[in-house]
Amino acid sequence: MADLKQRWHQLEQKAKDIGYRTTDRHLRLAVTGLSGAGKTAFITSLVEKLLSAQQQPPYGGLPLFTVCREGRFIAARRERQPDLNIASFGYDTAMSALRDNPPRWPQSTTNISELRLAIDYRPKAGVLANFVDKATLHLDIVDYPGEWLLDLPMLDLDYQQWSTQLLAANSPLTNTPSYADFIAKITALDPTQEPSDEALATISDSYRALLEQLVHQQGFYLAQPGRLLLPGDLQGTPLLAFFPLPSQLFTGQGDSSPLQRQLQQRYDAYVKQVVKPFYQRYFEEFDRQLVLVDVLGALNRGRPQFEDMANALNALNQSFRFGKGGFWQRLFSPKIDRLLFAVSKVDQITREQQGNALSLLKALLNPGWQRADQQGCAVEAMAVSAIKTTRYGMAKDRGLGEVSVVSGRGLDNGGDTITLFPGEVPQALPNKDFWQQQGFEFVNFAPPLQPPEQPFEHIRLDHLLEYLIGDKLL
C-alpha cells in the first residue's frame, strides 16, 4: 500500500513537472512612449494595483481583469530583477512622491529600467489546473524612452542622407531660434582640416541645446539622434558627439573633407554601437509591448506640434512592422505577439470625450497601425488613465446650458481645485478650420490626495492588463 502511495506521489510529481514545463511561466512586458507620455506614472500605478489587488474587494479593484473577476488571483509580490546590468525601476521612490503630502508626480523616464513581479494565481483549465492549486507568472516590466525608437530610420540612411533630411528647409528644427547659432559654429570650422575632438564636442553641445529648445521650449517631439536628449549610460561619450552637416559642406563622392569623414565615422559608430545593439540586446526579448501616447498634450500644444507628434508616432511605429522585407528580417527575429497603443491621461477629459480620444489615436496611427497584425502580432488600441486625478460632474454654462466638466487639484496653482470643460477632442485628424476655431484646455492636474492604504483610482487599467497578460493567467 505504502509503495502504491509512493508510486502515485511520484507520478503526480512528474505530471506537475510537465505542467510547469509546458505552461508559460514568464512574460516580458515592455512599456514605451515619448517623453511625458506617462510611462513612470503608469508603471507605478500598475504595480501598485497588482500588489494590492488581494486586499481590494470586489475583484481586486480590477473587474475587467479575468483572473481577478473569477476570483483566481491569489497575490502579487516583487521579486529580484533578472538582469543585473539594467537599472531598477524606481518604484519605491515614485510611490513615495505620489504618497507625499502634498502628493507629487514622480520623475520621468530617462533610461531603460526594469522591475519583476511574481503573480500567484489559481489555474483555470488545462493540464496545469489538474495538478497544481497555485501557479506563478513572473512578469518583467521594462520601461524605456520611445525617443530611442526614433533612431530606427538611421539604419537605412547614410550620414549625408540623414543630414539632408534633418536640415530640410522649413523643418521645425531649422525654424528653432538657436538654429542660426548652431550653423554659425559649424561654418566657423575649416572643413579641410582634421577637426579636434573638442571642436566636435562643442558643436555637438550646441546641437543638443538646439534639440532641447525644439523639444522642451517649443513642444516638438522628433529629435535625432534619440540619445542626445536621453543619453542613458552614454552621457558624455564621443559616440554622441556628432551632428548633421548642411548640404553645402558635403563634397562629391570619394572626395569627402576631413570634417565630413570624421562625422560620417561617428554616425556609423552610433548606428552600429547604439541603435542596432538596442534592438538586439533588449527588443528581441520582449513578449508584449505597450506604447503610451499623450494625444491630449499634443493637441494642447498646437497644430505644428501635433503634426510633429503624428510623424514621431509613425516613425516609432516602424519598429513594430514585423513583416517580410522589414529590417527585422535582416537583423534578428522579434517575438512580440501583442502590441497595444494607449492614449494616456484620459482622466483630463470628460467621459463622453474618451471615445473621441481613442478614435483620434487610431486616426493618428493610420494607415499602417495594424500592419503588425498580419504578421502574427495582435494590435489593439485603448484609452486609459494610470492615476485618475479628476472627478466628473455637470455644470451650468450661461450659453450652453448643462455641460460635463472635470474637476481636480491644479498642478500649477498650488493644488487648488479647478473645474472646467476642457474642450472637445476631435474624432479624426483635425483640419485647418478646426485649429482656427477650437480651443483646448487640457489642464495638468496634480496627483489626488487620498489615504495611504487606498490605491489610486484608474481608468481601464484592468482592461489593459487583460489584453496584455490575461491569456497567461488562465
Q: Decide if 429 contacts 417 (C-beta within 8 A).
A: no
Amino acid at 172: P
CB of 455 to ligand GDP, least distance (A): 13
CB of 324 to ligand GDP, least distance (A): 32
Terminal-residue alpha carbon distance, the chain:
36
Strand 417-420: give its sheet, edge to edge. Answer: 390-397, 401-409, 417-420
Q: Which CB sits closer to ligand GDP, 23 or 35?
A: 35
* Binding positions for ligand GDP, rule: CB under 6 A: 33, 35-41, 105, 108-109, 344-345, 347-348, 385-387, 389, 444-445
- Look at residues 305, 378, 347 and name the one whose alpha carbon lies nearest to residue 456: 347
Strand runs (DSSP E) across 62-170, as ranges? 73-79, 87-88, 113-121, 135-143
CB of 189 to ligand GDP, least distance (A): 35
Q: What is the dihedral of CA 64, 67, 73, 77, to 10 degrees?
A: -80
Q: Which CB sits closer to ligand GDP, 256 or 389?
A: 389
- Look at residues 115, 182, 121, 109 and name the one whose alpha carbon lies nearest to residue 148: 109
Q: Which CB sits closer to ligand GDP, 33 or 226?
A: 33
> How many CB atoms are closer than 10 A to CB 216?
12
Query: For the chain, how many residues are written?
Result: 474
CB of 61 to ligand GDP, least distance (A): 16
CB of 38 to ligand GDP, least distance (A): 4
CB-count exposure of residue 440 (10 Å: 0-12, 13-18, 19+): middle
Q: Which CB sits closer to ligand GDP, 223 or 386?
A: 386
> How many CB atoms are closer than 10 A to CB 457?
17
**Cell numbers that stand for 406 in this block:** 472635470
- Look at residues 51, 120, 111, 123 and name the one whose alpha carbon lies nearest to residue 85: 111
From residue 3, give the alpha-carbon distance in Å to each of 9, 11, 16, 205, 351: 10, 12, 20, 77, 65
Q: Which CB sits closer to ligand GDP, 39 or 371?
A: 39
CB of 108 to ligand GDP, least distance (A): 3
CB of 68 to ligand GDP, least distance (A): 20
CB of 44 to ligand GDP, least distance (A): 8
Q: Decide if 315 contacts 152 (C-beta within 8 A).
A: yes
Q: Which CB sits closer to ligand GDP, 108 or 213?
A: 108
Q: Which CB sits closer to ligand GDP, 46 or 241?
A: 46
Q: Which CB sits closer to ligand GDP, 365 or 443?
A: 443
